[in-house]
Chains A and B, each alone.
Chain A
């Protein structure tokens, strides 16, 4: 088993052989990947050393201290957080070898073609069709809420390959080439004025069977890996007090006494307490994961933060009074990242409305807590044994 001391040694060797000050950024990242220091819990030869995941912090700290470049993980979050673990779990040796290195280095951006206009919370009802033609699959359909689609080289895609069986069983998981002429990406403008996301129209897109992930008809199970990793990557960060949405409104309160009212004061204090408790809950979850005691608590974090972000930013707009009637910029833009602190209160208010919809609606997450954590029965299901083609539309 690789231990912390050995990882430190390997990191120092990498830094000695490829001094960050004189090495091209991408060359350094490739060397880091080849040294097994990209994600140490991945297997040897695929950017890792088969070491415990928690030891990644040892490598990261050494590299940061040495001023080494990173792979800009926020820019390639979907690749790192969702595509990579799925490829690792279900990919062929060839797929792992071809895709993981450029993914991690950031040469190839990934996006996720899951949600559809007709399949949101009920994702398994998706209707994008993939039909086999020789060694290829021909894909037709429409996907939505795709971040990075306009930047992406590859996509993870789920599509219906068998409409004659119940919905969960007729889905297959693919890797889709975003440069295929049948892929059309259109910006999807949001209530904030900008377009973080896209609509993706797929018209006779040809995907070689070699780019299938997992078995035909097993796509739903493969997708669970992707979605589970989405939730893991949402939790797990250490946040300082007032590190979230409560920070800007607290600063405004301190700096601008003329805005204060008794009503706002009571509401601010209540939200401040709730934000601090949510932060402590996240910290407790983090400590549990580090101690190797994963709990159910992670299921609830997103629910809490979604509501808090919405209430806090709503209060902030109100606190601003006359200024709260203004908005910083309605221009249609294509931001690469969601930036809650770089914009004003009105933007935070509008953007945080999406927090209770994206990555699982709060209503669905409450069902998940009720059923998986508390063990309560599910609602009677009428869709489990019905062929997809016969579902109510």
Chain B
């Protein structure tokens, strides 16, 4: 067993000036196009996702193509920039298929060779085509997942828990012959599932003899896609947690009870300080994972597992504390904290639970089970 207890180089855990500029631009766009009251209202319409915001992010800013090489019409950027975008999308709990299409589906296609995959990468980079990997959101990197049957070139089967499938123009479907196939969204039956997370919905995908184009081998593509998804999800969780902390601090400075600002009570201050420590730590872990993915570090598997094993519980803890410390208003549909709690809780299952990532670490760093 190889030991991974030392590293030759340290990851770059800071944000570059360019990354900060990108953050500022995304935050500006979100403050104009993604107000949280609007997001709440939208959850009960026929379009819970926000196509105009998606258009502004992809068409307007080219963000859907960050991971796609310039030769295929993308930006040729890295996971570090993607992570910054995800922090901001998390902070706004934005209902767009960025993680699913621009990260997970894109990474699956990057693992495939050939013209079919290249063409799809160009399409996804533009944002005018949305892709979704047809693997349940709960599956961890390297974890078992369902496949569909390939019968004489036609795909049959039903896949559940597919995030953002309802808005996908193309689905990347793993089949029982070991292949990954591209399937047009309108060739399958999509049944929305009532989802805990109102801003990242799941759907069931039913294939009933669908013609499909083979992209390549499913196993390496799915593994790569889920690893990036898990690693970069930590940045979304960081954004969620940071919003929850910031809003709660703001609220407790303004809210007065017992003739004083509630935020002056030591019992509450200590809880907020504790959350701040967790957010600071999450930032380091999320930057570590993003940098490892960006540089193709030999330490990537460890960095991703550490980030996800840590960030998942921080996002949930911060959202739960935000709700509690807001008091009654936090329990209302009108106040946005529930969007963050629902996203944070769903994120703690997405791409593998913290426990699944700890189990992966047990192997990676040689701390074997009894």
Are A and B associated in one complex?
Answer: yes
List residues 366-393 of chain A with CB under 8 A from any CB of chain B: 366-367, 369-371, 373-380
User: Are B7 and A241 touching (Cβ within 8 A)?
Assistant: yes
Given contacts A376-B249, A379-B266, contact A260 B14 (CB under 8 A): no
User: Chain B residues with Cβ under 8 A from A22's Cβ?
Assistant: none
User: Chain A residues with Cβ under 8 A from B274's Cβ?
Assistant: 366
Q: How far is the CA of A374 from the CA of B242 in the complex (A)?
A: 12
Given contacts A261-B370, A269-B367, A276-B306, contact A374 B358 (CB under 8 A): no
Contact of B13 among A287, A371, A373 (CB under 8 A): A287
Q: How far is the CA of A367 from the CA of B6 in the complex (A)?
A: 36
Encode B1-14 as 1/0 by CB contact (under 8 A) with A.
00011110011111
User: Chain A residues with Cβ under 8 A from B11's Cβ?
Assistant: 280, 283
Q: How far is the CA of A269 from the CA of B261 in the complex (A)?
A: 40
User: Chain B residues with Cβ under 8 A from A369's Cβ?
Assistant: 273, 276-277
User: Chain A residues with Cβ under 8 A from B369's Cβ?
Assistant: 260, 262, 265
Contact of B6 among A241, A250, A376 (CB under 8 A): A241
* A281, closest chain B residue (CB): B284
* B358, closest chain A residue (CB): A269
User: Are B285 and A300 touching (Cβ within 8 A)?
Assistant: no
Q: How far is the CA of A378 from the CA of B11 in the complex (A)?
A: 38
Judged by a CB distance under 8 angstroms, whether B253 is at the interface is: yes
User: Are B14 and A371 touching (Cβ within 8 A)?
Assistant: no
User: Are B266 and A367 touching (Cβ within 8 A)?
Assistant: yes
Min CB gap B287→A, angstroms = 7
Q: How far is the CA of A378 from the CA of B260 in the complex (A)?
A: 11
Q: How far is the CA of A291 from the CA of B12 in the complex (A)?
A: 11
* B270, closest chain A residue (CB): A366
Q: How far is the CA of A80 from the CA of B365 in the complex (A)?
A: 38
User: Are A269 and B273 touching (Cβ within 8 A)?
Assistant: no
Q: How far is the CA of A370 from the CA of B245 in the complex (A)?
A: 12
User: Are B284 and A284 touching (Cβ within 8 A)?
Assistant: yes
Judged by a CB distance under 8 angstroms, whether B176 is at the interface is: no
Q: How far is the CA of A283 from the CA of B272 in the complex (A)?
A: 23
User: Chain B residues with Cβ under 8 A from A276's Cβ?
Assistant: 306
Which among B266, B269, B358, B362 has the highest number of chain A CB atoms within 10 Å?
Answer: B269
Judged by a CB distance under 8 angstroms, whether B334 is at the interface is: no
User: Are B270 and A370 touching (Cβ within 8 A)?
Assistant: yes
Judged by a CB distance under 8 angstroms, whether B71 is at the interface is: no
Judged by a CB distance under 8 angstroms, whether A363 is at the interface is: yes
User: Are A262 and B370 touching (Cβ within 8 A)?
Assistant: yes
User: Are A284 and B5 touching (Cβ within 8 A)?
Assistant: no
Q: How far is the CA of A304 from the CA of B281 in the complex (A)?
A: 9
Contact of B5 among A241, A262, A280 (CB under 8 A): A241
User: Are B281 and A376 touching (Cβ within 8 A)?
Assistant: no
User: Chain B residues with Cβ under 8 A from A240's Cβ?
Assistant: 5-7
Judged by a CB distance under 8 angstroms, whether B216 is at the interface is: no
Q: How far is the CA of A250 from the CA of B369 in the complex (A)?
A: 12
Judged by a CB distance under 8 angstroms, whether B366 is at the interface is: yes
Q: How far is the CA of A132 from the CA of B11 in the complex (A)?
A: 57
Judged by a CB distance under 8 angstroms, whether B361 is at the interface is: yes
Given contacts A253-B367, A269-B361, A278-B281, contact A375 B269 (CB under 8 A): no
- Residues of A in contact (CB 8 Å), total 48
Min CB gap B366→A, angstroms = 6
Report whether over half of chain B's contact residues are helix, strand or loop; otherwise say mixed. Answer: helix
List residues 332-364 of chain B with CB under 8 A from any CB of chain A: 355, 358-359, 361-362
User: Are B260 and A277 touching (Cβ within 8 A)?
Assistant: no
User: Are A378 and B284 touching (Cβ within 8 A)?
Assistant: no
Judged by a CB distance under 8 angstroms, whether B86 is at the interface is: no
User: Are A242 and B249 touching (Cβ within 8 A)?
Assistant: no
User: Are A377 and B261 touching (Cβ within 8 A)?
Assistant: yes
User: Are A280 and B367 touching (Cβ within 8 A)?
Assistant: no
List residues 4-28 of chain B with CB under 8 A from any CB of chain A: 4-7, 10-14
Contact of A284 among B13, B252, B306 (CB under 8 A): B13
User: Are B281 and A293 touching (Cβ within 8 A)?
Assistant: no
Encode B211-244 as 1/0 by CB contact (under 8 A) with A.
0000000000000000000000000000000000
User: Are B14 and A293 touching (Cβ within 8 A)?
Assistant: yes
Q: How far is the CA of A265 from the CA of B362 in the complex (A)?
A: 9
Contact of A376 among B4, B272, B280, B309 (CB under 8 A): B272
Min CB gap A252→B, angstroms = 11
Min CB gap B312→A, angstroms = 11
Q: How far is the CA of A260 from the CA of B281 in the complex (A)?
A: 29
Judged by a CB distance under 8 angstroms, whether B54 is at the interface is: no
User: Chain B residues with Cβ under 8 A from A304's Cβ?
Assistant: 277, 281
User: Chain B residues with Cβ under 8 A from A278's Cβ?
Assistant: 281
Q: How far is the CA of A125 from the CA of B120 in the complex (A)?
A: 70
User: Are B264 and A378 touching (Cβ within 8 A)?
Assistant: yes
Q: How far is the CA of A145 from the CA of B309 in the complex (A)?
A: 39
Given contacts A281-B283, A380-B260, 20 further A-B contacts (CB under 8 A): A253-B367, A261-B370, A265-B367, A266-B358, A269-B367, A273-B310, A274-B310, A276-B306, A278-B281, A280-B284, A280-B306, A281-B281, A284-B13, A297-B280, A367-B270, A367-B273, A369-B273, A377-B260, A377-B263, A379-B266
What are 19 residue pairs bridging A and B, where the CB atoms are less than 8 Å apart in the complex?
A: A240-B7, A241-B7, A250-B365, A254-B367, A270-B358, A280-B13, A280-B284, A283-B10, A284-B13, A284-B287, A287-B10, A291-B14, A366-B274, A369-B273, A370-B270, A373-B273, A374-B272, A376-B253, A377-B263
Leading 6 A-B pairs by shortest Cβ distance: A370-B269, A377-B264, A260-B370, A369-B273, A284-B13, A280-B284
